[in-house]
Amino acid sequence: MDKLILREMHFSARHGVLPAEAENDQPFSATVELELSTARAGASDRIEDAIDYRKVQGVVRDVIGGSRKHLIETLAEQIAGRLLAAFPEVHAVVVEVVKPRPPVDFQFAGVSVKIRREQGGAAR
């Protein structure tokens, strides 16, 4: 299966369980992998035969820029569900949401969640 991958899209939003996370924007990033056939687009060289990655980014932006969520798991699930609904030709999506600087009292390189969802609701 082919993949269309949008790597490390960056956003600023207010998600998290801590009060400070509701008050101040934090950086988030997301990577999405869309599993689909790219053969038609590759042969035709026409955007009409491809998935316009600007629209993919718009879906991700709408979720991350939308209402506050407590968990990055929720963001990932909503992104996956909306991408599968918006692009029925996609067989499955892999979504990774990264919160690089959560406001915690220890140092680490951030936290991320990565999920894979298929058309029809299957997880793998």
Beta bridge partners of 34: 4, 93
Catalytic residue (one of 3, 55, 69, 99): 99
What count of Cα atoms within 13 Å lies in the side-chain half-sphere of residue 75? 31
Q: Please state whether beta strands 111-118 and 2-13 pair in parallel, antiparallel, or not at all (unpaired).
A: unpaired
The amino acid that residue 32 corresponds to is V
Whether 114 sits among the annotated catalytic residues: the reply is no
Closest Cα partner for 72 from 36, 53, 100, 92? Answer: 100
- As annotated, the active-site residues are 99
